[in-house]
Amino acid sequence: MTTLRRFVAAASVLLALAGCDRSSPPGSSTVGSAASVASPARVASARPSASVAAPAVSSAPAVAPQAATRWAGVYDAKKAKLETPDKVKDVTWKKDDGTTAIGEGKLAISVRGTTVEGTASGPLGDQIVSGVYDGKELRISLMPKDPTLPGAMTGSGTGELKAGVLKGEFRCAGPDAVVVRNVTFELKPEG
């Protein structure tokens, strides 16, 4: 295509865009006349003009679906059911009688951006909670405040936002991995 044809095609597109009345309904005579000025071959080969404005893109961060930055609730720890393959005869977990680190505790988190910080207390001991929350899914890790305690529990898990409540589960184990607990939790937004 010659330079003159490219110039005519680009000018036709610019004239069509400049003459287009944005308040006109689609298919009006203004749009129809613009289509007759520039053929599809000419429009496809025309270079975009710097004078044509691109759609506005907001630089503001997307608002997360959760409004709360603080969540609090309870957890319920139960003895985890552990299964080994048929040929494995490990009896280590049979040493856990299921009477320790069982029951209801408290869990509270704060969310700043996507970063989660918090605390947990109860039958699993006093713990520090860290993780991430994207507005829908929560991923947390729990570390004992005092890891030197004999029954210090460490764990991790996930939760999901459903009907305004964060629900999920995590698994914790003691330092020798004999005591393993499956824990469910439910967190609600705080004022």
> Is 127 among the domain residues?
yes
Domain span at residue 33 reads 3-45
For residue 117, report the phi and psi dihedrals to the nearest 5 degrees.
-135, 145
The strand pairing partners of 160, in sequence order, are 137, 167
Residues 85 and 137 in one domain: yes
Residues 40 and 79 in one domain: no
Residues 163 and 115 in one domain: yes
- The pTM for the full model equals 0.62
> Is 59 among the domain residues?
no
For residue 125, report the phi and psi dihedrals to the nearest 5 degrees.
95, 180
Tens of pLDDT, residue by residue, the chain (191 residues): 454 444 444 444 434 434 444 444 444 444 443 333 444 444 344 444 444 444 444 444 443 444 569 999 999 999 998 877 888 877 777 788 889 999 999 999 999 999 999 999 999 999 999 999 999 999 999 999 999 999 999 999 999 999 999 999 999 999 988 999 999 999 999 96
Q: How far is CA 146 from CA 1, 102, 119, 143, in A?
A: 76, 19, 13, 9
Residues 129 and 80 in one domain: yes
Contact 30, 126 (CB under 8 A): no
What is the radius of gyration, based on Cα positions, of the chain? Answer: 31
Angle in degrees, CA 128, 134, 135, rounded to 5? 105
* Separation CA 37–CA 32 (nearest Å): 9
Number of domains in the chain: 2
Residues 14 and 99 in one domain: no
